[in-house]
Amino acid sequence: MKFRKKILASSVTAVLSTGISGCFHDNGSSDSVGSSGSDEKTLSSSTITLTNDNIYLLASGFPGTYIGNGDAADGDTTNDDAMTLVVEPGTLILGNEQEALMITRGSKIQAKGTATDPIVMTSKKQFDNWVAGGDGTSGRGEWAGFALMGYAKTNECGNPCDVEAEGNIGAYGGINDADNSGTIEYVVVRHAGNDIDGLGNELNGFTLFGVGSGTTINHIQVHKGYDDGIEHFGSSDFMDHIVLTGNADDSFDWGQGYTGGAQFIVVKKADDDADRAIEADNDKKNPEATPVSKPILANMTLMGPSNPGTEATGSDGILLRRGTGAHIYNTIITGFPDACIDIDGEATLQEAGTLSDNTDGNLEIHNSLVHCPAKEDFESGDSDIAASDIQTWFNSDADNMTGMAPMLASNGQPTSNSPVLKSSSFAINGASLGTGFVDTDYVGAFGPNGSNWTEGWTVYLNGNTTVWEPAAGGTLNGASPASDGTCPEGTTFVKAIDLPAAVGGGQMDLCQLQRRYDASDIK
């Protein structure tokens, strides 16, 4: 799967002379430059660096841009080209429909944004509207999303382990749960998650296929996606400080033997289109497939839509099904129009062990609060697992709470009289949960001191509507953005773009990535 096609220099010149408006059709596809994924460039090393003095466009059309060639289903890790994509703080990456950014097995991404200069990945449609004077609002599914493809285990592995990824973008999986796909910090993914191949195969805002525990992931927001916010297929990674807002399908989804962990998650469902906060599976065809999904999750604040009076705008807070396990601590589930918690399937119930003992199985919940008065706290509409059994399981921990509102601000922070701040029994020892977890003595994603770790770098949750701002430091060194007609090694100059006055004006160069970067690109 190399997707290689050369472009004649005369064709590139003809297209560039038309400017950016001539380069992209109304349906989000592109002509000569985009159809090949840009003029192929050679590299002097195995590293591609996206500097923050430019704006970047993914290779045009399905499936977008690949880093490395580890998606090939050849069962041979020695064939992988170890490429590295470096993304500077404050960098903006744009995509059109059916275009994704994919880091394949054996390669890495080093995307280290900051609280003041987050990296933003969004649709070109949203960006164009904003540059033209729009307010920056946009729809869902306007580009395909961001995906990591690693060598961690999945319960769908064969021998060799080459599992076809959702969206038909290539193969993932292996036997190395410590695999390292790089570092992703302070990254905002917006308006992603569409039908990438036209056959109903949808990527998510951020999809993790067999991603290992060597990967560093923190301070990530997925906003207004068409499909799930974050979905794990297998994987053993740990992530923390995650914000999932306005996503139409599930916010945090897993299956196929997900054994990782997460701490500090905020979910806010949209009023116009929403599904579950968490949808949890082991395996649909074989609920007892190994490895069994059993992640550890702590300090989550899961909020339903502002108007939970109708199931048209959402469903359950957490759905546990198809044989999954889960270890859940210090979590708030509130405001969902169907139920706070639903457990489906005998295989899932077996993971809970004895229902009256919330500590003897691989499905447990502790120090948590549920409050879904629009209908019920525990799902009663299913024929397989009775609401009374779910309630018995939940109530077997005396520190779990029902019948009281969590009293949260709209961004999920507890008010001063919130019941989640009233007990000393909420303490958890982070080290006892696993690598990456920290000690807390409160329920939910926010502590009692009023500090807000989502402030400044996220959108929507705290009222911030900015699409993106040029980096204040790094390559720009605080100077006003200016176009010089040059792009980083391995990318192609498309056009200089005038920035809106709302972010200080100036110009930046639009640079297009090619379809794939692998060893054949290196001089």
Which residue is it, tokens 């297209």?
15
Write the DSSP assignment of 209-224 as a string of letters: ES--TT-EEEEEEEES
Residue 159's pLDDT is: 87
Residue 83's pLDDT is: 98
Residue 442's pLDDT is: 92
pTM of the model: 0.91
For 346, the token pair is 């005998």
CA 407-408-414 angle, 5° bins = 95
The set of residues, in sequence order, having a beta carbon less than 8 Å from that of 258 and lying 6+ positions away, is: 232, 233, 234, 235, 236, 293, 295
Closest CA to 146 of 74, 218, 196, 89: 196
Residue 312's pLDDT is: 57
Stretch 374-400: mean pLDDT: 93
With a cut of 80, say whether residue 35 has pLDDT above it: no
CA 330/CA 441 separation, integer angstroms: 8
Residue 200's pLDDT is: 78
With a cut of 70, say whether residue 25 has pLDDT above it: no
**Mean pLDDT of the residues in the chain:** 89
For 446, the token pair is 């926010």
Residue 195's pLDDT is: 79
On the 0-12 / 13-18 / 19+ scale of CB atoms within 10 A, 161 is buried
With a cut of 80, say whether residue 154 has pLDDT above it: yes
Whether the upstream peptide bond of residue 295 has omega within 30° of 0, thus cis, is: no
CA 469/CA 479 separation, integer angstroms: 13
pLDDT greater at residue 20 or residue 181: 181
Residue 477's pLDDT is: 52
Residue burial 364-379, b: 16+ Cβ < 10 Å; e: rest: bbbbbbbbbebbbbbb
Encode pLDDT of 360-373 as tens digits.
999 999 999 999 99
> Cα separations (Å) of 130 from 70, 85, 443?
36, 27, 38
Residue 38's pLDDT is: 52
Q: Read off the pLDDT band of 20 (50, 70, 90).
A: very low
For 317, the token pair is 């807070």
Backbone angles phi, psi at 299, to 5 degrees: 55, 60
Q: How many residues belong to the chain?
A: 523
Least confident of 140-154, 193-207, 334-348: 193-207
On the 0-12 / 13-18 / 19+ scale of CB atoms within 10 A, 262 is buried
Q: Read off the pLDDT band of 115 (50, 70, 90).
A: very high
What is the rounded end-to-end Cα distance, in angstroms, of the chain? 21
With a cut of 50, say whether residue 27 has pLDDT above it: no
Least confident of 172-181, 292-301, 495-504: 495-504
Residue 11's pLDDT is: 30
Q: Please, are residues 161 and 149 in contact by the beta-carbon 8 Å criterion? A: no
The set of residues, in sequence order, having a beta carbon less than 8 Å from that of 366 and lying 6+ positions away, is: 328, 329, 330, 358, 397, 399, 400, 428
The set of residues, in sequence order, having a beta carbon less than 8 Å from that of 21 and lying 6+ positions away, is: none
The set of residues, in sequence order, having a beta carbon less than 8 Å from that of 132 and lying 6+ positions away, is: none
Provide the CB-side half-sphere exposure for 360 (13 A, CA). 8
Write the DSSP assignment of 387-421 as a string of letters: HHHHHHHHHTSTT-B-SS---B-TTSPBPTT-GGG
Q: Please, are residues 105 and 99 in contact by the beta-carbon 8 Å criterion? A: no
Beta bridge partners of residue 297, listed in sequence order: 262, 328
SS3 123: strand
Q: Read off the pLDDT band of 14 (50, 70, 90).
A: very low
Amino acid at 204: N
Residue 198's pLDDT is: 76
Closest CA to 266 of 233, 241, 296, 283: 241
Residue 289's pLDDT is: 97
Stretch 456-483: mean pLDDT: 81
CA 368/CA 418 separation, integer angstroms: 13
> Cα separations (Å) of 431 from 31, 85, 260, 428?
53, 32, 15, 9
> Cα separations (Å) of 463 from 136, 155, 420, 456, 460?
13, 41, 24, 10, 5
Residue 519's pLDDT is: 94
Stretch 390-406: mean pLDDT: 95
Stretch 435-452: mean pLDDT: 93
Beta strands (DSSP E) in 116-196 are 119-123, 145-149, 163-164, 171-172, 182-190
On the 0-12 / 13-18 / 19+ scale of CB atoms within 10 A, 429 is exposed
pLDDT greater at residue 314 or residue 346: 346
Beta bridge partners of residue 376, listed in sequence order: 339
Which range of 71-80, 222-231, 479-488, 500-509 scores highest in mean pLDDT? It is 222-231
SS3 363: strand
Element (H, E) at 289: none
For 11, the token pair is 């064709």
Least confident of 106-120, 150-164, 185-199: 185-199
Residue 6's pLDDT is: 25
